Structure 1
Amino acid sequence: MRQSLEHLQIAVRGRGLVEITDRVREYVARQSIEMGLLTLYCRHTSASLLIQENADPSVKRDLERYFEVLAPEDAQRYEHDAEGPDDMPAHLRTALTQVQLSIPIENGALVLGTWQGIYLFEHRRQPHTRDVVMHVMGE
């Protein structure tokens, strides 16, 4: 069994979904692992990871709008605001999603559905560089 670990740096302009599927696929292809498991881990408390439809851009827009309603910026709602009014809503959005994904590898490729893509979901308004750890194990 072999394993590999690499950090993926993702520059984001602000809140929203950033598709990272191609970059993750490239990493997996370089590992020459026919069967195994990829783990992705987002090292932040105000950004998360999703597997979501990547064919219709309206899915992204609807998800972003939904989370704006679910965890709105509202100074009256939250005590925590150490980094501004979008700080606590970002933490809530991360808590409602996930910071880790596991994706099987079969025949050297990610086992994703036809319309599935991998996304970093940025929950802050400011530009950031996010770090996602990619770890693969297999043969």
Structure 2
Amino acid sequence: MGWQKTFTLGARRKGCHLVTTEILDHIGPGLQGVTVGMLYLFIQHTSAALTINENFDPDVRRDMDMALDQIVPEHLNWVHTDEGPE
């Protein structure tokens, strides 16, 4: 049986953030009684992404932030600036 829900995550500053608990708060009712299934998460934002990373070592998020800052630096002449810096 399928189940779907649209929800909005709280605002965050630039960076890698743990959102597991917040997502579970929203989708918990749809998980009741589920023993096997698939979860699809779709993020409707042009400047955001979802990744799955291990979370034992807090340096993982710092490393991801550093790598993303190298790939997509803020100092470029960005055209998409409606939402301000970051």
Q: Which TM-score tier does this pair reach, normalised by the shorter chain?
A: 0.7 to 0.9
Unaligned runs of 5+ in 2: none
Unaligned runs of 5+ in 1: 88-123, 126-139
Contact 2:17 2:61 in 1 (8 A): no
Normalising by structure 1, we get a TM-score of 0.51
Q: Which amino acid aligns with 2:21?
A: D
SS in 2 for 1:39: coil
| Alignment partners' CA distance in 2, 1:82 and 1:22 | 30
Q: C-alpha displacement at 1:59, in angstroms?
A: 0.7
| Alignment partners' CA distance in 2, 1:43 and 1:15 | 16
Please identify which structure carries the higher strand content. 1
- Tell me the percent identity: 25
Normalising by structure 2, we get a TM-score of 0.76
Superposition CA RMSD, Å: 2.5
Q: C-alpha displacement at 1:19, in angstroms?
A: 1.1
Higher relative contact order (CA 8 A, sep 6+): 1
Q: Which amino acid aligns with 1:81?
A: V
Deviations 1:23-58 (A, max 9, x none): 334455422222111100000110000000111111
> What is the aligned partner in structure 1 of residue 79 from structure 2?
81
The number of aligned residues is 84
